[in-house]
Homo-oligomer: A and B are copies of this chain.
Amino acid sequence: MTSRTIAELSGVSQTTVSRVLRDDPAVSEATREKVLRVLEETGYAPNAWARAMRLRSTGVVGVVAGAVTNPFYPELVEALNTTISRKGRHMSLWVASEESEREAGERAALAAVQQGALDGVIFTTVTAESVALRAALERQAPVVLMNRTLEGLPCDTVSTDNVTGGRAVARYFARHGRRRPALITGPESVSTSRERESGFRDALQEARVAVAGAHIIRGDFTHAAGRAAMLTLLERAEPPDAVFCVNDVVAFGALDGAREAGVSVPDGVWIVGFDDTELASWAAFDLTTVRQPIQQLAEVGLELLLDRLADPAAPYASRRLPAEIVVRRSTGHAAAE
């Protein structure tokens, strides 16, 4: 069934049916009613692809996200989905289950843009190795970098103020007399771990608290990495009294590692995460962490993308959203920053 069928059934031209469907005011009330009745009876729905082809716009926004094993991503994806729906568009998702698939997901999403299947894409997991992205940006692909960013690329970015977040944790440790801080961080090619780490280390230095080299462990963004790192740290001759983890899922692993090693949290060691995923507030973890404004990230990111689509020549924007420390039992319920 096409608009032509509807036209025949209601005794008007296909043009008029199209007008009624688009709510064109240049249609008489009588004609409109006639067509609407047939539309109602048949339950006809116009073909989305034909429409998209004519309008050269699909209403679909692509999102490239990280795997479910880090609960931050499902939460971010859900916020994006809600925001995109609210703007009358639809989200198309590429999930990179493993780091090795990340580049493939990015390529697929960029190809979809080039094929006109997508209006634009939001990348949430870029790393310094995202090669295809650089090439696409030279062709002016409508891309927004969210969460993880890259310096000096011709595109819009939005992220949490990771440096300030890291600094807040360091100052919190220093103020509460923590003398042997440790850091479980992520790959250096990723902006989020670099920024959180540098904020944390700089503020510790300003507070004249030293971090032992052996107290810095670099791993990936998984529960298993956090657990392993924590077990290692607790075996040191001088184990840490406070551990800052690069994100929540690593902190959950660290908490589980401490539990297995029989070290009580917060009495034996403090643990802090980053993200404030929903799980962080569960009694099982009750994790002090730095809150990312997930809903706001989604909203600003989509806004940047829609602005970009509306005006491809506008200057590029970089937005930083505030991070806020949330104190819970994993650091002894101490007063908030």
Contacts and interface: CB of A to CB of B under 8 A. Distances in A.
B284 A255 contact: yes
Interface in A218-269: 223, 227, 252-253, 255-257, 259-260
Contacts of A116: 47-49
A45 B113 CA distance: 10
A90 interface: yes
A14 interface: no
A217 interface: no
Determine how many copies of this chain the complex contains.
2
A259 B282 CA distance: 11
A275 to B, nearest CB: 13
Contact of A284 (B45, B91, B115, B284): B284
Contact of A49 (B43, B45, B49, B111): B49
A47 B81 contact: no
Nearest to A69: B278
The 4 A-B residue pairs with the shortest CB-CB distance in the complex, in nearest-first order:
A256-B283, A48-B117, A48-B115, A68-B74
Interface of A: 43, 45-50, 52-53, 58, 67-69, 71, 74-75, 77-78, 81-82, 85, 90-95, 97, 108, 111-112, 114-117, 139, 223, 227, 252-253, 255-257, 259-260, 278-279, 282-285
